[in-house]
Amino acid sequence: MITLIDGLSLGSIYALIALGYTMVYGIAKMLNFAHGDVIMVGAYAIMVTLSCSLSPVVAIIVSVVLCTLLGMIIEKLAYRPLRGASPLAVLITAIGVSYFLQGLAQIIFGAESKPVGSSWKLPAIPALNKHGITTAALVTLICGIIIMVVLTLFIKCTKTGSAMLAVSEDRGAATLMGVNVNKIITITFAIGSALAAFAGMFYLLQIPNAEPMLGAMPGITAFTAAVIGGIGSIPGAMVGGILLGVVEKFCLASPLSSYTVAVKFSLLIIILLVKPTGLLGKVSREKV
Protein backbone atom coordinates (compact mmCIF):
# COMPACT_ATOMS: atom_id res chain seq x y z
CA MET A 1 0.00 0.00 0.00
CA ILE A 2 2.77 2.42 0.99
CA THR A 3 4.75 1.33 -2.04
CA LEU A 4 1.69 1.93 -4.20
CA ILE A 5 1.23 5.48 -2.92
CA ASP A 6 4.95 6.19 -3.27
CA GLY A 7 4.76 4.77 -6.77
CA LEU A 8 1.73 6.85 -7.66
CA SER A 9 3.39 10.01 -6.41
CA LEU A 10 6.62 9.29 -8.30
CA GLY A 11 4.44 8.35 -11.24
CA SER A 12 2.69 11.70 -11.17
CA ILE A 13 6.08 13.45 -11.33
CA TYR A 14 6.94 11.32 -14.34
CA ALA A 15 3.52 12.02 -15.82
CA LEU A 16 4.06 15.79 -15.50
CA ILE A 17 7.40 15.56 -17.28
CA ALA A 18 6.02 13.13 -19.85
CA LEU A 19 3.20 15.59 -20.61
CA GLY A 20 5.81 18.14 -21.63
CA TYR A 21 7.47 15.65 -23.95
CA THR A 22 4.26 14.43 -25.46
CA MET A 23 2.74 17.88 -26.06
CA VAL A 24 5.86 19.11 -27.78
CA TYR A 25 6.02 15.95 -29.85
CA GLY A 26 2.38 16.15 -30.83
CA ILE A 27 2.60 19.74 -31.95
CA ALA A 28 6.16 20.41 -33.08
CA LYS A 29 6.81 16.79 -34.17
CA MET A 30 10.14 16.74 -32.38
CA LEU A 31 11.66 15.20 -29.30
CA ASN A 32 12.68 17.86 -26.87
CA PHE A 33 15.63 16.12 -25.31
CA ALA A 34 16.40 19.18 -23.23
CA HIS A 35 13.14 18.84 -21.35
CA GLY A 36 14.73 16.92 -18.48
CA ASP A 37 17.27 19.66 -18.03
CA VAL A 38 14.58 22.29 -17.74
CA ILE A 39 13.60 20.42 -14.56
CA MET A 40 17.15 20.82 -13.36
CA VAL A 41 17.08 24.55 -14.08
CA GLY A 42 13.82 24.81 -12.16
CA ALA A 43 15.35 23.03 -9.20
CA TYR A 44 18.35 25.36 -9.19
CA ALA A 45 16.04 28.36 -9.43
CA ILE A 46 14.29 27.20 -6.26
CA MET A 47 17.61 26.63 -4.56
CA VAL A 48 18.93 30.07 -5.42
CA THR A 49 15.78 31.94 -4.39
CA LEU A 50 15.62 30.06 -1.10
CA SER A 51 19.26 30.83 -0.40
CA CYS A 52 18.38 34.52 -0.76
CA SER A 53 16.08 33.78 2.19
CA LEU A 54 12.91 34.41 0.24
CA SER A 55 9.76 32.43 0.94
CA PRO A 56 9.04 29.12 -0.82
CA VAL A 57 6.06 30.69 -2.61
CA VAL A 58 8.36 33.22 -4.27
CA ALA A 59 10.72 30.37 -5.13
CA ILE A 60 7.92 28.48 -6.86
CA ILE A 61 6.90 31.53 -8.89
CA VAL A 62 10.49 32.33 -9.87
CA SER A 63 11.11 28.73 -10.91
CA VAL A 64 7.94 28.46 -13.02
CA VAL A 65 8.50 31.82 -14.74
CA LEU A 66 12.17 31.09 -15.41
CA CYS A 67 11.44 27.66 -16.86
CA THR A 68 8.66 29.00 -19.05
CA LEU A 69 10.95 31.68 -20.45
CA LEU A 70 13.74 29.17 -20.88
CA GLY A 71 11.47 26.85 -22.85
CA MET A 72 10.47 29.68 -25.15
CA ILE A 73 14.06 30.81 -25.64
CA ILE A 74 15.25 27.29 -26.45
CA GLU A 75 12.48 26.93 -28.99
CA LYS A 76 13.28 30.26 -30.58
CA LEU A 77 17.06 29.90 -30.78
CA ALA A 78 17.66 26.23 -31.33
CA TYR A 79 14.59 24.60 -32.78
CA ARG A 80 12.92 27.26 -34.89
CA PRO A 81 15.79 27.60 -37.40
CA LEU A 82 15.49 23.88 -38.03
CA ARG A 83 11.78 23.77 -38.69
CA GLY A 84 11.35 21.79 -41.88
CA ALA A 85 14.79 20.18 -41.63
CA SER A 86 15.27 16.45 -41.21
CA PRO A 87 14.12 14.92 -37.89
CA LEU A 88 17.60 13.58 -37.24
CA ALA A 89 19.06 17.09 -37.32
CA VAL A 90 16.44 18.38 -34.90
CA LEU A 91 17.00 15.47 -32.55
CA ILE A 92 20.75 16.04 -32.47
CA THR A 93 20.25 19.75 -31.79
CA ALA A 94 17.93 18.88 -28.91
CA ILE A 95 20.61 16.62 -27.46
CA GLY A 96 23.05 19.51 -27.87
CA VAL A 97 20.76 21.86 -25.95
CA SER A 98 20.43 19.30 -23.17
CA TYR A 99 24.18 18.95 -22.98
CA PHE A 100 24.55 22.73 -23.04
CA LEU A 101 22.26 23.25 -20.05
CA GLN A 102 24.05 20.55 -18.06
CA GLY A 103 27.43 22.06 -18.86
CA LEU A 104 26.26 25.53 -17.96
CA ALA A 105 24.88 24.34 -14.63
CA GLN A 106 28.18 22.60 -13.91
CA ILE A 107 30.14 25.76 -14.57
CA ILE A 108 27.88 27.96 -12.47
CA PHE A 109 27.08 25.66 -9.56
CA GLY A 110 29.79 23.00 -9.71
CA ALA A 111 29.37 19.30 -10.38
CA GLU A 112 28.51 18.21 -6.84
CA SER A 113 24.97 18.23 -5.49
CA LYS A 114 23.85 21.03 -3.22
CA PRO A 115 21.14 20.95 -0.53
CA VAL A 116 18.12 23.10 -1.24
CA GLY A 117 17.71 24.62 2.19
CA SER A 118 15.66 23.75 5.23
CA SER A 119 12.65 25.91 4.38
CA TRP A 120 11.81 23.62 1.47
CA LYS A 121 9.90 21.10 3.53
CA LEU A 122 6.29 20.23 4.15
CA PRO A 123 4.81 19.94 7.64
CA ALA A 124 4.32 16.36 8.75
CA ILE A 125 0.80 15.01 9.19
CA PRO A 126 0.99 12.60 12.14
CA ALA A 127 -2.11 10.60 11.22
CA LEU A 128 -0.63 9.68 7.85
CA ASN A 129 3.01 9.41 8.79
CA LYS A 130 2.09 6.73 11.32
CA HIS A 131 1.31 4.49 8.34
CA GLY A 132 4.55 5.45 6.60
CA ILE A 133 2.98 7.73 4.01
CA THR A 134 4.96 10.92 3.60
CA THR A 135 3.30 14.28 3.17
CA ALA A 136 5.49 14.97 0.16
CA ALA A 137 4.16 11.89 -1.63
CA LEU A 138 0.57 12.84 -0.91
CA VAL A 139 0.96 16.47 -1.94
CA THR A 140 2.76 15.44 -5.12
CA LEU A 141 0.01 13.01 -6.00
CA ILE A 142 -2.84 15.48 -5.36
CA CYS A 143 -1.14 18.43 -7.08
CA GLY A 144 -0.15 16.20 -9.98
CA ILE A 145 -3.75 15.12 -10.51
CA ILE A 146 -5.02 18.71 -10.25
CA ILE A 147 -2.47 19.92 -12.82
CA MET A 148 -3.39 17.13 -15.22
CA VAL A 149 -7.10 17.86 -14.91
CA VAL A 150 -6.51 21.57 -15.50
CA LEU A 151 -4.36 20.83 -18.53
CA THR A 152 -6.97 18.51 -20.02
CA LEU A 153 -9.67 21.15 -19.49
CA PHE A 154 -7.41 23.80 -21.01
CA ILE A 155 -6.93 21.77 -24.15
CA LYS A 156 -10.57 20.73 -24.44
CA CYS A 157 -12.30 24.01 -23.58
CA THR A 158 -10.16 26.95 -24.69
CA LYS A 159 -9.55 28.33 -28.13
CA THR A 160 -5.78 27.99 -27.78
CA GLY A 161 -6.30 24.38 -26.76
CA SER A 162 -8.30 23.57 -29.86
CA ALA A 163 -5.72 25.39 -31.95
CA MET A 164 -3.08 23.12 -30.43
CA LEU A 165 -5.11 20.06 -31.29
CA ALA A 166 -5.57 21.38 -34.81
CA VAL A 167 -1.85 21.98 -35.30
CA SER A 168 -0.99 18.51 -34.05
CA GLU A 169 -3.55 17.00 -36.38
CA ASP A 170 -2.51 18.78 -39.56
CA ARG A 171 -0.17 21.72 -39.50
CA GLY A 172 -0.85 22.81 -43.06
CA ALA A 173 -4.59 22.77 -42.68
CA ALA A 174 -4.36 24.61 -39.37
CA THR A 175 -2.32 27.35 -41.04
CA LEU A 176 -4.99 27.67 -43.73
CA MET A 177 -7.66 28.00 -41.06
CA GLY A 178 -5.86 31.03 -39.65
CA VAL A 179 -3.99 29.41 -36.77
CA ASN A 180 -0.68 31.09 -36.03
CA VAL A 181 1.41 27.93 -35.93
CA ASN A 182 4.58 29.58 -34.62
CA LYS A 183 2.67 31.13 -31.74
CA ILE A 184 1.03 27.81 -30.88
CA ILE A 185 4.37 26.02 -30.86
CA THR A 186 5.85 28.68 -28.57
CA ILE A 187 2.86 28.34 -26.24
CA THR A 188 3.30 24.58 -26.20
CA PHE A 189 6.93 24.91 -25.22
CA ALA A 190 5.97 27.42 -22.52
CA ILE A 191 3.34 25.09 -21.03
CA GLY A 192 5.62 22.07 -21.26
CA SER A 193 8.44 23.91 -19.50
CA ALA A 194 6.11 25.20 -16.79
CA LEU A 195 5.04 21.60 -16.17
CA ALA A 196 8.72 20.68 -15.96
CA ALA A 197 9.19 23.40 -13.32
CA PHE A 198 6.38 21.87 -11.27
CA ALA A 199 7.93 18.44 -11.69
CA GLY A 200 11.27 19.82 -10.49
CA MET A 201 9.53 21.29 -7.46
CA PHE A 202 7.96 17.95 -6.50
CA TYR A 203 11.20 16.17 -7.19
CA LEU A 204 12.98 18.43 -4.70
CA LEU A 205 10.33 17.59 -2.10
CA GLN A 206 11.37 13.96 -2.32
CA ILE A 207 15.11 14.41 -2.82
CA PRO A 208 16.14 17.84 -1.50
CA ASN A 209 19.40 18.14 -3.45
CA ALA A 210 20.04 20.05 -6.65
CA GLU A 211 22.73 18.82 -9.05
CA PRO A 212 23.53 19.35 -12.74
CA MET A 213 22.55 15.82 -13.73
CA LEU A 214 19.33 15.91 -11.74
CA GLY A 215 17.13 16.16 -14.78
CA ALA A 216 18.83 13.50 -16.88
CA MET A 217 17.46 10.33 -15.32
CA PRO A 218 13.89 11.52 -14.58
CA GLY A 219 13.92 13.10 -18.02
CA ILE A 220 14.84 9.87 -19.78
CA THR A 221 12.43 7.87 -17.64
CA ALA A 222 9.57 10.28 -18.27
CA PHE A 223 10.40 10.23 -21.91
CA THR A 224 10.16 6.45 -21.75
CA ALA A 225 6.81 6.93 -20.08
CA ALA A 226 5.64 9.18 -22.89
CA VAL A 227 6.74 6.63 -25.46
CA ILE A 228 5.08 3.78 -23.56
CA GLY A 229 1.84 5.70 -23.40
CA GLY A 230 2.05 6.57 -27.06
CA ILE A 231 3.93 9.76 -27.76
CA GLY A 232 1.69 12.62 -28.79
CA SER A 233 -1.21 11.34 -26.69
CA ILE A 234 -1.93 13.31 -23.51
CA PRO A 235 -3.83 10.61 -21.58
CA GLY A 236 -1.14 8.20 -22.76
CA ALA A 237 1.57 10.26 -21.06
CA MET A 238 -0.35 10.23 -17.79
CA VAL A 239 -0.96 6.47 -17.93
CA GLY A 240 2.64 5.76 -18.96
CA GLY A 241 4.10 8.03 -16.27
CA ILE A 242 2.05 6.55 -13.46
CA LEU A 243 2.71 3.01 -14.70
CA LEU A 244 6.46 3.58 -14.72
CA GLY A 245 6.42 5.24 -11.31
CA VAL A 246 4.57 2.30 -9.77
CA VAL A 247 6.79 -0.24 -11.52
CA GLU A 248 9.91 1.57 -10.33
CA LYS A 249 8.82 1.72 -6.69
CA PHE A 250 7.70 -1.92 -6.66
CA CYS A 251 10.95 -2.90 -8.26
CA LEU A 252 12.93 -1.02 -5.64
CA ALA A 253 10.99 -2.80 -2.92
CA SER A 254 11.55 -6.25 -4.43
CA PRO A 255 14.74 -8.34 -4.48
CA LEU A 256 15.36 -7.08 -8.01
CA SER A 257 16.10 -3.58 -6.69
CA SER A 258 19.54 -3.26 -8.24
CA TYR A 259 18.07 -4.05 -11.67
CA THR A 260 15.47 -1.26 -11.55
CA VAL A 261 16.94 0.63 -14.50
CA ALA A 262 17.11 -2.53 -16.59
CA VAL A 263 13.51 -3.44 -15.74
CA LYS A 264 12.19 0.03 -16.59
CA PHE A 265 13.88 0.14 -19.96
CA SER A 266 13.13 -3.48 -20.81
CA LEU A 267 9.47 -2.63 -20.26
CA LEU A 268 9.88 0.14 -22.82
CA ILE A 269 11.49 -2.12 -25.39
CA ILE A 270 8.90 -4.86 -24.92
CA ILE A 271 5.96 -2.47 -25.21
CA LEU A 272 7.45 -0.83 -28.29
CA LEU A 273 8.04 -4.18 -29.95
CA VAL A 274 4.53 -5.42 -29.24
CA LYS A 275 2.84 -2.14 -30.00
CA PRO A 276 5.22 0.29 -31.73
CA THR A 277 2.96 3.30 -31.26
CA GLY A 278 2.68 2.86 -27.51
CA LEU A 279 -0.34 1.96 -25.40
CA LEU A 280 -2.65 4.79 -26.45
CA GLY A 281 -0.90 6.04 -29.54
CA LYS A 282 -2.60 6.50 -32.86
CA VAL A 283 -1.64 4.17 -35.67
CA SER A 284 -0.61 6.18 -38.68
CA ARG A 285 0.17 4.64 -42.01
CA GLU A 286 3.17 5.98 -43.81
CA LYS A 287 2.38 7.28 -47.23
CA VAL A 288 4.76 7.53 -50.12
Partner 1 sequence: MKNNKKTTNIKFKDYVNYVLIGALLLYGLVLLLTGGLRLSTAQLLVQMGYSIILAVSLNLVVGFLGELSLGHAGFMCVGAYVGGFCAVFLKQAMPEMKLIILIISMLIGGIVAAVFGFIIGLPSLRLKGDYLAIVTLAFGEIVRNVFMNQQAFGGARGLTTGSIIYDTRRSPTLFIAVFVVVLIMIFVIQNLVKSKHGRAITAIRDNEIAAKAMGINVTFYKLFVFIIAAFFAGCAGVIYSHTTTPVLYSFFSYNKSIEILVMVVLGGMGNLTGSIIASVFIAYVNFILQNQLSGPLASLRMLVYAIILIVVVIFGNAPALKNFREKYSISAFFSRFKKKDAANRKDDEAKWHRVPTKIKMDAILSTDLNPNSDMSIHGDLGNNDGKGGDK
Q: Could you give the dihedral angle defined by the CA atoms of residues 263, 217, 10 and 52, in that order, rounded to the nearest 10 degrees?
A: 160
How far apart are CB 65 and partner 1 at their closest, in Å?
24
**Which CB, 107 or 149, lies closer to partner 1?**
107
Least distance between partner 1 and beta carbon 28 (Å): 12
Question: What does residue 210 show for φ and ψ, rounded to 5 degrees?
Answer: -105, 130
Q: Closest separation between CB of residue 254 and partner 1, Å?
A: 14
User: Residues interacting with partner 1, by CB under 8 A?
Assistant: 25, 31, 78, 81-89, 91-93, 95-100, 102-104, 106-107, 111, 216, 220, 223-224, 227, 231, 258-262, 265-266, 268-269, 272-273, 276, 286, 288
Closest to partner 1 by CB, 157 or 273: 273
68 closest CA partner among 225, 187, 235: 187
- Please, which residue, 110 or 115, has the CB nearer to partner 1? 110
Do 176 and 19 form a contact (C-beta atoms < 8 A)? no
Q: Which is nearer to partner 1, 89 or 253 (CB)?
A: 89
Between residues 33 and 202, which has the closer beta carbon with respect to partner 1?
Answer: 33
Question: Which amino acid, 19?
Answer: L
CB of 56 to partner 1, least distance (A): 29
CB 43 within 8 A of CB 203: yes
